[in-house]
Structure 1
Amino acid sequence: MLSSDQLQLKTMLGSNEEKIKLLTNIINDHTSTKDQIKSARELRVGINFELKQWQDVINDINMLEKTIDSTELQVMKSKATIQECCRKERVSMMNLIHYGTSPHDENEIVDLHELCIEGDNAEFKSLLEKSKEIDVNQYKLFVYRPLPNSSKEPNGLLK
C-alpha cells in the first residue's frame, strides 16, 4: 500500500474525479491501514469541498471527527452544512416554481442569519454564532414569498 506522502503525491496527478475514485478505493480497501484511510478521507474532504459536493464533505468529516479534533475540519463542516441547506432551499423553491406556482414578482435577498433565526432552519442559529470564522454575509438566498392574499389549494400548492 501507499504511504501518506505517496498518497498525497499520487493525488496531485489527474482530474478531481480520478482523485476521488482513487481515494474511495483506498478507503474501501480492506487491506488499507487506519492511517491510510484517515489520510485518504482528509484528502477527499478537501477535493469534495473544492467540487462543492457538500453532503460528501459532511459525511467524510463525520467519519473523521471520531479520530481527529480539528478546528479547520469543523469550519469546513459548518460551511458545507450551510451550503447544503442553501442548496436544498434553492431546489425546493425551483420545484415550487416548476410545479405550477408563480413566485411573487418582487424577490428579496434574505440574510441567512435572519432566515436561520426566523425560519425553519433554527438549528443553524447556534452554528452561526459559534462559527466566528464564517462570514455569514457571503451566504444569501433569493427567497420568493407568495402574495399575502393568495390561498392554498387542498393539495398544498398555492393558487
Structure 2
Amino acid sequence: MLFHQGELRDLMKLSGADRSETARRWTNLFIAPSPVEHVGSFLESGLIHRTTRGELVRSKSEVIIADLLDGFGVPYTYEQPFKGADGSIRYPDFTVADAEMGRTLLIEHLGMLDRPDYVARWKAKEAWYRAAGVGQAGDPTTEVVLLTTTELGGFNAANIKKQLASALSL
C-alpha cells in the first residue's frame, strides 16, 4: 500500500525515466560511465531510451512505436492521463486524439507477456478500460478505442506499423 499527499500525477512523475535511480546509475563493470545531462540531472547514456522527438520513454519498443507515429506525422502524447467513468486514472503508453473524427486512440504496448505477474496486471487494466467504455481498435461505435501491440514471437516493427496505420485509417 502506498500513501501520498497531493496530486496523483505528481506521484506518477516520479516514475519517469528522468527520475529513475537505475537510469542515474553510473556503474558498469566493463566500460567507463558516460553521463548525459537531461533536465538538470545526469543519466547514464546506456540506460536512456529517447525517441526521435527527444522524449524519454520506458523501453526501446516504445521508442520504435513513438518513432513510427512520428513518421506518420501523427501528433501523440506519451503517458497522458486517461480518466475513467469511476474517476480513476490510467496512463496509456500513447494517446492519439483525432479532432476531425472526434475519436481518441489509446495505445498500450505489452512487452512482457511472458511474465504471469505482468499478464495479471494487464488483465486488470484491460478490464478497467472496458468498464470505462473504451472499445477495441477498429470499432466505429466508440469515441475512445484501444490498440495493443505485443512482442509475442519477437518485436515486429513492420507488423506494428501496419496495426498503427489501420487503427489510424492511414
The normalised TM-score by structure 2 is 0.26
The normalised TM-score by structure 1 is 0.27
Higher relative contact order (CA 8 A, sep 6+): 1
Highest CA radius of gyration, 1 or 2? 1
Higher helix proportion: 1
Higher strand proportion: 2
